[in-house]
Structure 1
């Protein structure tokens, strides 16, 4: 298990790295939410300065949880629809073959799973028809309408095609911007990890990480940290399974 408290020199280096990425920049005092007060170091020019040591401690706890998810074979759903997060979310998801939502959270994605699954199935059907040449039987106008339907479906549901069941947890960029996703996860008792700035209500968040959620460099850093932890957990599970298989082969009688 990761330790929350790093050695002084290690934490100092981490603070410098986060400072260089602008993670410490929060929003103005009038926008700050009371739930993040303990994570704010102070204010400069009326803007919140986030306590990076506390950010580091929170990240360690979140990574430990995510690593366990990977070890247990549970999926992590990445959510980030704001322009600063969109591409970073897609790239991070691709690194670990994780599901994601990076264009718009469709209400009911978690709480109305039957309807969402129907839309995903429709997307898969169109793709299958394309591959088989089945669409050739339609007129040019009909094919154009189907192509538009596919673009729309892929935009909003393409990232969750590989999510056959409910995720083990959500990682969201900006809890305020993704309030609907957070609410749906809360309703289903799905843990939520979030990179959120000083304007967010973090009370519904199980693993809040307070930091700049509007800078691409900051968002990318935390996504990479979380996904790397998940991949470590998956690798550990594979190693354990491989060892068990080798032991059975080596001693088939006792197994």
Structure 2
């Protein structure tokens, strides 16, 4: 079943590209025609590429890994933050800090600093500080939250990036390429799609277009999470049945079965939390 339709893409204005004089020739294979000095994107290709991207993202999420949403342009940031939060995925919507991926260890230190400030407010350390020190810490906390709040729970490099406007987010694209992290992105007619692993030719300026494409990606993530959950449940049921069979046959004492199951569950939870 298709995640969206040609008509939905048309209604959302996904087909409207940029002025013909602003185009990137590398996008020519995704352009259907020119109308009134504006390039029109071929929605059949958009539909195909979107389905391909959604299927790939679903498999990444199903394997228990994270997809980092990136969109710092004004008309996209709120939409992307909302969709990413809905599926518990990390996001960057304020400013891409140089080295956010290539110097991830340093970024993690800044995130740890933010959590340390939170601990200070809970354990009473914050209360004994002077008014000036409190104000400085508050300002630093707000700054860190603004820049890094969306990736506070990201303990390791993401498995993929989903980007709105590759021209604006060229630093993120460059860092992902250096680390061989696959990129999924909305690519407009003024952008170069060749550096993107899963380009989605689409209008990356209109809120309706951004909302529709991002929602399709979100739905694919939801599908991946649900399938992962089902697979875990099925595996647990099989293990329980196998353990019961061993107990019934006398191969394994009943007292050892439960602790083993608990240890495996704890190990799985720890892995998912990384």
- TM-score normalised by the chain length of structure 2: 0.87
Distance in 2 between residues matched to 1:168 and 1:70, nearest whole Å: 9
1:148 to 2:116 alignment: no
Residue 37 of structure 1: aligned partner: 28
1:226 to 2:217 alignment: yes
Which stretch shifts more, 225-234 or 98-107? 225-234
Q: 2:180 aligns with which of 181, 189, 203?
A: 189
Deviations 1:189-211 (A, max 9, x none): 00000012100111110000011
Residue 178 of structure 1: aligned partner: 169
Q: 2:194 aligns with which of 198, 203, 207?
A: 203
Deviations 1:3-35 (A, max 9, x none): xxx7xxx9xx81211111111110011111111
- Structure 2: segments with no counterpart, 5+ residues: 247-274
Distance in 2 between residues matched to 1:202 and 1:254, nearest whole Å: 55
Distance in 1 between residues matched to 2:99 and 2:209, nearest whole Å: 29
Moved over 4 A (4+): none
Residue 17 of structure 2: aligned partner: 26
Q: 1:79 aligns with which of 54, 70, 82?
A: 70
- Structure 1: segments with no counterpart, 5+ residues: none
Shift of 1:254: 5.0
Distance in 2 between residues matched to 1:102 and 1:217, nearest whole Å: 18
Residue 118 of structure 1: aligned partner: 109
Residue 98 of structure 1: aligned partner: 89
* Aligned-partner SS, 2:75: coil
Q: CA RMSD in A?
A: 1.5
Residue 159 of structure 2: aligned partner: 168
Which stretch shifts more, 79-88 or 227-236? 227-236
Residue 57 of structure 2: aligned partner: 66
Distance in 2 between residues matched to 1:94 and 1:113, nearest whole Å: 21
Distance in 2 between residues matched to 1:128 and 1:94, nearest whole Å: 23
Residue 127 of structure 1: aligned partner: 118
Q: 1:55 aligns with which of 23, 30, 46?
A: 46
Q: 2:208 aligns with which of 213, 217, 223?
A: 217
Deviations 1:97-148 (A, max 9, x none): 0000000000000001121111111111111212333211111111111111
Which stretch shifts more, 214-223 or 129-138? 129-138
Distance in 2 between residues matched to 1:132 and 1:123, nearest whole Å: 15
Residue 16 of structure 1: aligned partner: 7
Distance in 2 between residues matched to 1:78 and 1:131, nearest whole Å: 31
Distance in 2 between residues matched to 1:16 and 1:247, nearest whole Å: 44
1:240 to 2:241 alignment: no
Deviations 1:43-84 (A, max 9, x none): 111111111110000000000100101110110000000001
